[in-house]
Amino acid sequence: MIQLTNPEKSQWAKLTKRPSLPSDDLQSKVGYILDNVKTRGDEALTEYAQLFDNVNLERLQVTSAEIQTAINSIDDDLKSAIQLAKQNIYSFHASQKEDAQIIETRPGVKCWRKSVAIEKVGIYIPGGTAPLFSTVLMLGIPAAIAGCREVVLCSPPNNEGNIHPAILYTANLVGIEKMYKVGGAQAIAAMSFGTETIPAVHKLFGPGNQYVTKAKEMALLHGLAIDMPAGPSEVLVIADSTSNPDYIAADLLSQAEHGTDSQVVLLSTDADITQRTLLALNSQLDTLPRKLIAEKALEHSYAITFEEMDCCIEFSNFYAPEHLIIASENAHQYIDRIINAGSVFLGNFSCESAGDYASGTNHTLPTSGFAKQYSGTSLDSFVKKITFQMISKSGLRRIGPAIEIMAEAEGLMAHKNAVSIRLKSQ
């Protein structure tokens, strides 16, 4: 990690710039994939499976027999862990339901807002070396609570033509019935436009590599909605003299192992804590199966020592991290000062892994500084808010004259007349 002490504010913009992988002609490559799938449908998807996944697929949709095989292959301990996480995630997201509240803004003028599920949603789940079955919980559960009529899941197959069994087990557990063996930008294209086999959806969810992310961005141009702009995973830890260096090192590495373009940041008011954390980090790094990935991520990560906690908080808000850990016995003192973060973990025992798996909060969060304007995924992500109004004769008499005056001032006489004709008939 790069070590710095009290960097000037003029340097902060440079320090908060996220790393990125080389992406020569990324947009044109992804654009070609989207157009190819839109034009050729399943045929293009099968060709991409051969090209990218090294597998010849006879069918794209996962069969009930394949799901049952996956269920049987998961050991009981993992099933129990997934079920515990499901219960907590369900409890937290179910609490986000809102009952419509009718507001009478004037006597006879009633207004309210109703949450209505998005009918068709698509969920992308990465496979490969880190099959994110936990993300199936994070997206499938709120979709079910919201009442989405159709949930489509796409995930890349291995070279034997199978989706990771934990992904299939978890999808079945949360009630997802339509699962397809498609990965990468081509999966986003399939869910955006629809193919002979895969239904088109109205909104896309889920993390992925730069090709998936770019495909989601480009899907916006074709009338799709997406959950949020998303990039490589990141964590920022704020530490003081009450922090535990071993815990901090573990938290930093838990994000560094995601990918070589991940970034981890340590801010501390205690130089001794910083040095002890770096020693612990190097020691723990040697034990990781994904050591090489984590090492690459650490090359563009920072350990910054500030004199005051105020500077740590200010820098964190400027960085707007996906995950923020305040590793302090006094973490509760800073809650109201956090204004830009995807998800916040308070105290020495609130590890980021808890949020990733089983505490109940959602781990699909804004990255790359988008926490300044985006929220993480929630029940609201799967619903639309529709407003209603019902106005009585007496209600229109109360607000009608104001509408007429405003409409006339804007030169919209038909708007005025829509009120006037009703008032005259009373």
Q: Which residues are catalytic?
A: 322-323
Judge contact between 367 and 232, C-beta under 8 A.
Answer: yes
Task: Please count the other Cβ atoms lying within 10 Å of the Cβ belonging to residue 177.
Answer: 13
Question: Which residue's entry shows tokens 């293009």?
Answer: 44
What sign does the dihedral 266-378-209-154 (CA atoms) show?
positive
Give the integer Cα–Cα distance in Å for 130 and 126. 7
Q: Pseudo-torsion of CA 204, 205, 211, 213, nearest 10°?
A: 100
Instruction: Please enumerate in sequence order all residues whose Cβ is within 8 A of that of 160, keeping only pairs 6 or more positions apart, or say none.
Output: 55
Tell me the C-alpha to C-alpha distance, in Å, between residue 328 and each of 4, 238, 243, 245, 270: 21, 8, 5, 11, 12
Of 338, 323, 327, nearest to 262 by C-alpha is 323
Judge contact between 42 and 195, C-beta under 8 A.
Answer: yes
Give the integer Cα–Cα distance in Å for 327 and 345. 8
Region at 108 (left for phi over 0; alpha for psi -120 to 50; beta for the rest) = left
Question: Which residue's entry shows tokens 């299939």?
Answer: 168
Of 29, 35, 21, nearest to 219 by C-alpha is 35
Give the integer Cα–Cα distance in Å for 333 and 215. 41
Core vs surface per residue 91-127: b (16+ CB within 10 A) or e: ebbeeeeeeeeeeeeeebbbeeeebebbebbbbbbbb
